[in-house]
Homo-oligomer: A and B are copies of this chain.
Amino acid sequence: MTALTGPHRAALIEATVAEFAAAGYEGASLNRILRAAALSKSSFYHAAGSKAELFDAVVRALVDDVRAVWVVPDPAGFDAPDFWARVDSALAGFAALAGEPALAMLGRIFYLPAQDGTARTEVLGAVRSWVAAVLAAGRSAGAVHADLPIELQTAAVFGLLRGIDEWALSGDADAAEGARAPGILLRRMLGVG
């Protein structure tokens, strides 16, 4: 019922994020989280109604953190001749917050398929339609190919970025290469000319 209130909120979110990092979103154990947060079951169920609500609250908290650092650009602004320059600067702004591990994790949370009704699907849908709107603006600016469905292009963008991200995380990756790769590859994949 209550959507995670009270003094334990911060500790609970922190412990949950750590658990996500260790065991993934699906594999996260409520018992482990409570143990880490030094909180009893009953206290937890008093503050947050269920495991699902906890997870939703955490997702929302992470999203808020991101939006506090990175103001999401209006897709309409991308309908301009310098479309790709604007994409580059948006990517640069976004890359700036990749430093904070808690925020980088938000991305990882969305890598798994989610069932409807959760905050994840909601946020993921919002991000997805934002990307689609940006692509649509790029199309009217003549900067983005229009010979494939825009939803397909959106999915390709997500997949590509995820692939780059996973490479960047796995061992022998050069951070500088990882930072410039999205701009280069997205432009080649989608850009006209």
Interface residues contributed by chain A, number (CB under 8 Å):
32
A99, B189: Cα distance in complex, Å? 27
In the assembled complex, the CB of A190 is this many whole angstroms from the nearest CB of chain B, namely 8
What per-residue 1/0 map shows which CB atoms of A152-170 lie under 8 Å from chain B?
Answer: 1011111111111011000
Determine how close the nearest CB of chain B comes to the CB of A147; give it in whole angstroms. Answer: 8
Among A12-20, A39-47, A178-186, the one that faces the other chain is A178-186
Contact of A155 among B145, B148, B157, B164 (CB under 8 A): B164
A145 to B189, CA, bound (A): 12
| A166-B155 contact given A148-B181, A148-B184, A185-B189, CB 8 Å threshold | yes
Identical subunits present: 2
Task: Classify the interface of chain A: helix, strand, loop or mixed.
Answer: helix
Q: Is A26 an interface residue (CB 8 A)?
A: yes
Tell yes or no: A7 within 8 A of B by CB.
no
Whether, in the assembled complex, A32 has its beta carbon less than 8 Å from a beta carbon of chain B, the answer is no
For residue A165, give the distance in angstroms from its CB to the closest CB of chain B.
8
Within 8 Å CB of A27, what residues of B?
A: 26
Q: Does A149 contact B (CB under 8 A)?
A: yes
Are A160 and B173 in contact, with the CB atoms below 8 A? no
Q: How far is the CB of A105 from chain B (nearest CB, A)?
A: 14
A100 within 8 A of B: no
Q: Does A64 contact B (CB under 8 A)?
A: no
Nearest Cβ distance between residue A37 and chain B, in whole angstroms? 25
CB distance from A177 to the nearest CB of B (A): 6
Candidates B149, B159, B184; contact of A160 at CB < 8 Å = B159
The 3 A-B residue pairs with the shortest CB-CB distance, nearest first, are A159-B163, A155-B167, A189-B189
Interface of A toward B, CB cutoff 8 Å: 26-27, 145, 147-149, 151-152, 154-164, 166-167, 172-174, 177-178, 181, 184-185, 188-190
